[in-house]
Chains A and B, each alone.
Chain A
Amino acid sequence: MARYALRFGALGYLALLLLVPVGLVFYRAFENGAGHAWDAVTTHQALHALELTLLIAAIAVPANTVFGIVLALALVRTRFPGRGLVNAVVDLPLALSPVVVGLALFLLYGRGGWLGGLAGHGVKILFALPGMVLATMFVSLPFVVREVVPVLREIGTDQEQAAETLGASPLQVFRRITFPAIRWAVAYGVVLTTARAIGEFGAVSVVSGRIEGRTETLPLYVQSQFEGFDTSGAYAASVVLAMIAIGTVVGLRVLHPREEVA
């Protein structure tokens, strides 16, 4: 009896908080017909927002993947002063408000900021692509690192040392031994990084200046359409983002089949 109460309590909570609201957005987007929804996401402004979102992800995700692997290697395989601090800083983007991230970049690259002078030399960071990429890199930094670190710990260094003894160069060791062992963790981290990069709102909202048709990403587009009373446009763009999110969840399942519930 208690088991059923718990089951229906838990599932009911999930349904009311998660499933019904997300389902309703799909319903709202398509209630005037699929053609209407299609028109709403293929306007010039919406397409540009989608392109910009994908472009930012295409820069930030590879950067965080490469540096994420290097960071994980540095954290697990080497000892250096300040390693504990680095460890804490890596987690910070997970716990810090995205608006604070945006403001930090704004103060660094804005007028009077330490790197504010760059704008005078024709390097426009704020209200332009570089600032939005930097904001996205900040918020999505931890995912690859956090997935790779435990795997590196688990595999240990026996094989790497054996390869070294046999005369392999560090690059060869990485390519032949280390990378094959961590590649699924990397893939998992990449999926999480991509989802976070595509969905980022707060930090990008601050540094982009939200110039319509110029620095507006898809999540920003959702808000501006909604506030401009084009709710069908907002719902249609939301469905595009929700489908990316559902794709992410499916991707995570495929990559982690062993995490299945018993």
Chain B
Amino acid sequence: MDGQQLDERQLIARVCAGDEGAGRTLYDAHVDRVYWLAYRMSGRHELAQDFTQDTFIRAFSKLQDYRGEAAFGSWLHTIAMSVILNGLRKSKRFEQREAVLDEAAMVPSLTRHAEPDLKERLAQAIDALPEGCRTVFLLHDVEGYTHEEIGVALEITAGTSKAQLSRARAKLRESLADFAGEWVHD
């Protein structure tokens, strides 16, 4: 761990000195996790790609300011979260506008199953969660972040993160109450 951090600090110093190869190494070490997170939050490859690029562009431009107080990965994920959440807000606003136009012009063509299966219902329920709850749920229960890491990334306390998670789970249970019998028997 310490060795890895030392390596990372050396890499960062080299990137700051203009070594593009070091930048690529640093990028390769972290890009997958950032991309997965971006995809998990957005559900779209093009958005995930944009968010990942923006995250690294912003991180490299701010690298001089990185003091090494937190692990580089945590620092990077704080940037990533900020980029992703802001990006999602923007694209949501855009999509809402588009949806209003579509609703007015289009005959409903997207017919969902009358009784969608559990996975689909769960996906819908996650989409319907309030933004804070959804973010914490995905970060904690799906991506495996700790409450402390989430607190740093979202600039909230660990306690708030726990409360949001608890609320998210309760809302999901409520939404999927129809399926309760299935997992009791499982």
Q: Do A and B come from one complex?
A: no
List the interface of chain A (C-beta within 8 A of B): none
